[in-house]
Amino acid sequence: MGLLLKVLIPLLGLGLAVYFYSGPGNFSEEEPCTGVRYRLCAALSSASPPEMLRGKRVIVTGASSGIGEQMAYHLARMGAHVLLTARTEAKLQKVVEKCLDLGAASARYVSGSMESTAFAEEVVKEAENIWGGLDMLILNHIGRSYFNFFNGDVDHVRKLMETNFLSYLAMTTSALPMLKESEGNIVVVSSISGKVASPFVAPYSATKFALEGFFSSLRHEFIIEKVNVSITLCILGYINTENAVRAVSHIIKKAPAPKEECAMEIIRSGALRQRELHYPASTVTPTLLLRDLAPEFLDGLVRNNMRVENIKRPPPARGSGH
């Protein structure tokens, strides 16, 4: 019976995942709610997400590259106002220019590092100054880490917590008055590593698990206090951004999913006020089902999907104070 359940329930999950997510990959303004995949969209809203975003004021963090950059372009095509942020000014300038070409209602950037919560608050202040309000806050940036055995560097974990976790809280806190007024959306970009641990990402995984705990608790409080601001947690699998592919393509056996579609799914799930996004659903959803049903079996699968022999051991940890 137990074994039967262990097999049947993941299969059922897979079936459901396919039911909801298989369908045309298109998400055009002309055909907003076509196909099986848009069942949810059609059921939940008469307006399609692209139309829902027109004229909305959106902050995207980590927008100079990868998924954040692609989200900026989608939002621009949808006619949103975007405020982009990351550290590298030269890249942000280019992304802003392209957003304007693509039809953004307006596009601006603020450059700086999210290692400081003061900067995180400054970005929100900027939105308040230019727009006097905010509709969607997309928290997406991550600080640089390493893909290897934990090297014992506790300072690195502390810094990564500041960048990947505390800055998300700081931005949420300072944006909340504006988001309450607009009945807006908070979109938190997390990872399968924030739900199921895999080796070689201990510091990163810790920051992503922290996001789930914090934002899921906050979601309860919003409901209790009748704060109509949605919180969408995005659980992403392996995506083909330059940085991710460079870091892990020699270790991870499976092929990455496309960043353009990923970016669109994130915006859609936020606009539709969904609780969680699983992308790509075909791997994320079954993994999450197995997590509680057969954790050791899943751990084995996780390690099996890696070419562990390609990991080079790091030099011994440096002492603290560097």
Ligand X SMILES: *[C@@H]1O[C@H](CO)[C@@H](O)[C@H](O)[C@H]1NC(C)=O
How many chain residues interact with ligand X (CB under 6 A)?
6
Catalytic residue IDs: 204
Q: Is 203 in the site for ligand NAP (CB under 6 A)?
A: no
Site string for ligand NAP, 139-178 (x = CB under 6 A): -xxxxx------------------x---------------
CA separation for the pair 28, 41 (Å, rounded): 13
Compute the C-alpha angle 178/183/184, nearest 5°.
Answer: 70
Distance CA 293, CA 296 (A): 9
- Is the separation of the CB atoms in 294 and 282 below 8 Å? no
User: Which entry of ligand X, ligand NAP, none binds 24, CB below 5 to 8 A by partner kind?
Assistant: ligand X
Q: Of 275, 180, 173, whose CA–CA distance to 231 is shortest?
A: 275
Residue 241 interacts with which of ligand NAP, ligand X, none, CB < 5 to 8 Å by class: ligand NAP
Residue 274: which of 22, 20, 63, 32 has the closest Cα?
20
Q: How far is the CB of 148 from ligand NAP (least distance, A)?
A: 16
CB distance 76 to 51 below 8 Å: no
Residues 6+ apart with CB under 8 A from 283: 192, 237, 254
Which of 22, 217, 228, 310 is close enough to bind ligand X by CB under 6 A?
A: 228
Kindly state the smallest distance separating residue 185's Cβ from ligand X, in Å. Answer: 9
Among residues 9, 14, 26, 157, the one that binds ligand X under rule CB under 6 A = 26
Stretch that binds ligand NAP, among 18-26, 43-51, 82-90, 290-298 (CB under 6 A): 82-90
Stretch that binds ligand NAP, among 18-26, 52-60, 241-249, 291-299 (CB under 6 A): 241-249
HSE-CB of 223 using CA atoms within 13 angstroms = 8
Work out which of 8, 183, 243, 275 binds ligand X, going by CB under 6 A.
183
Site for ligand NAP, residues 5 to 64, rule: CB under 6 A? 62-64
Residue 60 Cβ vs ligand X, minimum distance, rounded to whole Å: 20
Q: Which does 168 bind (CB under 5 to 8 A by kind): ligand X, ligand NAP, none?
A: none
Q: Which listed residue (48, 185, 241, 285) binds ligand NAP by CB under 6 A?
A: 241
Give the angle 14-19-24 at the CA atoms, nearest 5°.
120
Alpha carbon distance 42, 178 (integer Å) = 28
d(CA 14, CA 34): 22
Residue pair 277/191 in contact (Cβ under 8 Å)? The answer is: no
**Interface with ligand X by CB under 6 A: which residues?**
24, 26, 31, 34, 183, 228
